[in-house]
């Protein structure tokens, strides 16, 4: 049932989704909201669609867009209409306004999103697609979604995104993937063009576009495993890295959960923080690293592996931990030799948080044994051996044993 704005006078803010078909695609209720508004807010393209509809003042979105929020709030109680592309609450302006206005004050009439329109044109089941926005976001976010057989709908930043995506796929062993560039969806200028990534040849693409991708991966394609414990070779490193098998065990002990924050203290190459964030798109991590060269390397690894939002705190713990948001989990790899680092990280961890420390040296292992005796948890010793050449034969080459202490902080564990 379409909301009746007159039945709920307290709903002073209307958010109307509008497509490339402009007024023709609006319902009578949506058009009425525009006609009755004293202020109509939107981009230049949207305002052009509704030129001459209603007497309300027009305001074009400023840059940054959030600068408009106070000006909209000044009109509280008076009819304001915000125009948005497609579905305002799907990568749209609705989510920008929602923290500032109670839901009871808003009426929203969405239009089909670009994702819905593309799925309808291609005959794809929307729930089976990965829906990604690269508009105003780092291009590298696409990396975790590049799985064999995947269908991806990616909202582009501008007209250059399709070519960039095609080049990325070709460089990573996925050049046979099918790309459909969907331009100006839902309007008279709509155009769909399909080709293999390796054959991409579009010279000019409308800035308003979405790319639909069907991934075809060659045998040697650079596909990120969905399991914890990525190959060490995927990370740029100077040797300071939690090795693959130990990293998988560490991620298991850290037990990532949706939207939680990890402190990776003494991050080295950032491998644990990167994999924590790969477990779910909403996960966050702070990599704390004393050496500037390693901090820069962590940033490159995060970008290459599709988690560009990894936060990096350059500095030596424990001082570098000051001012960080409270973590849900803490991993201490480098820096565990200093008891003050362990004390500070433990003190910052709220009740229920997970604390995991890996130790190689006997001195640090002794420290973990003492803390295990005091706080409980799990204490595990692991040694990995890899096959290596012994003359014309092979034998096991053992790595140094790693002792891991993992514990959940609870009441009575100050």
201 and 76 in one domain?
no
Q: Tell me what pLDDT residue 1 has.
A: 44
Q: What is the mean pLDDT of residues 249-254?
A: 98
The answer to whether residue 14 scores a pLDDT higher than 60 is yes
169 and 135 in one domain?
yes
61 and 11 in one domain?
yes
The answer to whether residue 267 scores a pLDDT higher than 50 is yes
DSSP 246-265: HHHHHHHHH---TT-EEEEE
Confidence at 368, pLDDT banded by 50, 70, 90: very high
Q: Are strands 13-18 and 106-109 parallel, antiparallel or unpaired?
A: parallel
Of 64, 215, 231, the residue nearest 132 (C-alpha)? 215
126 and 84 in one domain?
no
Q: Tell me what pLDDT residue 337 has.
A: 86
Residue at a domain's end among 111, 137, 171: 111
Q: Are strands 393-398 and 385-390 parallel, antiparallel or unpaired?
A: antiparallel
Strands of 130-133's sheet in order across: 130-133, 151-155, 209-214, 178-183, 191-196
Q: For residue 206, what are the domain limits? A: 115-214
369 and 357 in one domain?
yes
320 and 258 in one domain?
yes
- Asked, for residue 222, whether it belongs to a domain, the answer is no
The H-or-E segment that residue 345 falls in is helix 339-348
157 and 69 in one domain?
no
The answer to whether residue 55 scores a pLDDT higher than 70 is yes
Q: Tell me what pLDDT residue 196 has.
A: 98
At 289, give phi and psi (nearest 5°). -145, 130
371 and 240 in one domain?
yes
CATH number at residue 65: 3.40.1010.10
93 and 49 in one domain?
yes
Of 157, 151, 91, the residue nearest 122 (C-alpha)? 151
- How many Å apart are CA 62 and CA 394, to the nearest integer? 67
273 and 181 in one domain?
no
The answer to whether residue 411 scores a pLDDT higher than 90 is no
Confidence at 236, pLDDT banded by 50, 70, 90: very high
DSSP 264-288: EET-TT-HHHHHHHHT-TT-EEEEE
CATH number at residue 367: 3.40.50.150
Confidence at 331, pLDDT banded by 50, 70, 90: very high
Confidence at 4, pLDDT banded by 50, 70, 90: low
Q: What is the mean pLDDT of residues 305-334?
A: 96
Q: Tell me what pLDDT residue 205 has.
A: 96
Confidence at 201, pLDDT banded by 50, 70, 90: very high
Q: Among residues of the chain, what percentage have pLDDT more than 90?
A: 94
Average pLDDT, rounded, for the chain: 94
366 and 281 in one domain?
yes
Q: Tell me what pLDDT residue 291 has.
A: 96
Residue at a domain's end among 111, 131, 156: 111
Q: What is the mean pLDDT of residues 121-140?
A: 95
Q: Among residues of the chain, what percentage have pLDDT more than 70?
A: 97
Residue at a domain's end among 186, 214, 242: 214
380 and 294 in one domain?
yes
Of 224, 190, 192, the residue nearest 211 (C-alpha)? 192
- How many Å apart are CA 203 and CA 192, to the nearest integer? 14
Beta bridge partners of 405: 357, 379
Confidence at 9, pLDDT banded by 50, 70, 90: very low
140: Cβ contacts below 8 Å, ≥ 6 apart: 303, 304, 306, 308
Per the structure, the count of domains in the chain is: 3
Confidence at 8, pLDDT banded by 50, 70, 90: very low
């Amino acid at each position: 049932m379409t909301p009746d704005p007159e039945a709920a006078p307290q709903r002073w803010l209307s958010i109307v989704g509008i497509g490339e078909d402009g007024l023709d695609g609006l319902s009578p209720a949506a058009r009425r909201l525009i006609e009755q508004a004293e202020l109509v807010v939107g981009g230049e393209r949207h305002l052009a669609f509704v030129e001459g509809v209603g007497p309300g003042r027009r305001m074009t979105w400023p840059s940054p867009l959030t600068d408009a929020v106070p000006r909209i709030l000044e009109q509280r109680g008076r009819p304001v209409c915000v125009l948005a592309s497609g579905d305002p609450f799907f990568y749209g302006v609705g989510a920008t306004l929602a923290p500032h206005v109670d839901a009871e004050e808003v009426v929203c009439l969405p239009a089909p999103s670009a994702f819905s329109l593309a799925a309808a044109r291609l005959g794809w089941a929307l729930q089976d697609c990965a829906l990604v926005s690269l508009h105003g976001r780092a291009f590298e976010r696409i990396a975790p979604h590049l799985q064999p057989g995947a269908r991806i709908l990616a909202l582009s930043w501008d007209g250059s995104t399709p070519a960039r995506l095609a080049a990325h796929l070709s460089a990573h062993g996925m050049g046979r993937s099918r790309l459909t560039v969907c331009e100006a969806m839902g309007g008279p200028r709509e155009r769909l063009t399909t080709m293999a990534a390796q054959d991409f040849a579009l010279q000019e693409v409308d800035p308003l576009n979405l790319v639909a991708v069907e991934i075809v991966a060659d045998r040697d394609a650079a596909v990120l495993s969905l399991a914890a414990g990525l190959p060490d070779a995927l990370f740029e490193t100077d040797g300071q890295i939690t090795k693959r098998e130990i990293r998988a065990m560490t991620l298991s002990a850290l037990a990532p959960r949706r939207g939680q924050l990890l402190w990776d203290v003494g991050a080295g190459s950032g491998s644990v923080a990167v994999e924590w964030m790969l477990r779910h798109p909403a996960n966050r991590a702070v990599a704390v690293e004393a050496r500037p060269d390693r901090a820069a390397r962590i940033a490159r690894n995060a970008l290459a592996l599709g988690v560009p939002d990894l936060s990096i705190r350059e500095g030596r713990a424990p001082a570098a931990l000051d001012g960080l948001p409270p973590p849900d989990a803490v991993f201490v790899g480098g820096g565990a030799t200093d008891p003050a680092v362990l004390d500070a990280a433990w003190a910052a961890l709220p009740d229920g948080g997970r604390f995991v420390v890996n130790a190689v040296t006997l001195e640090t292992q002794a420290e973990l044994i003492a803390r295990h005796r005091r706080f409980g948890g799990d204490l595990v010793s692991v040694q990995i051996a890899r096959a290596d050449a012994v003359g014309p034969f092979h034998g096991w080459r053992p790595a140094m044993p790693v002792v891991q202490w993992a514990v959940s902080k609870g009441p009575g564990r100050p």
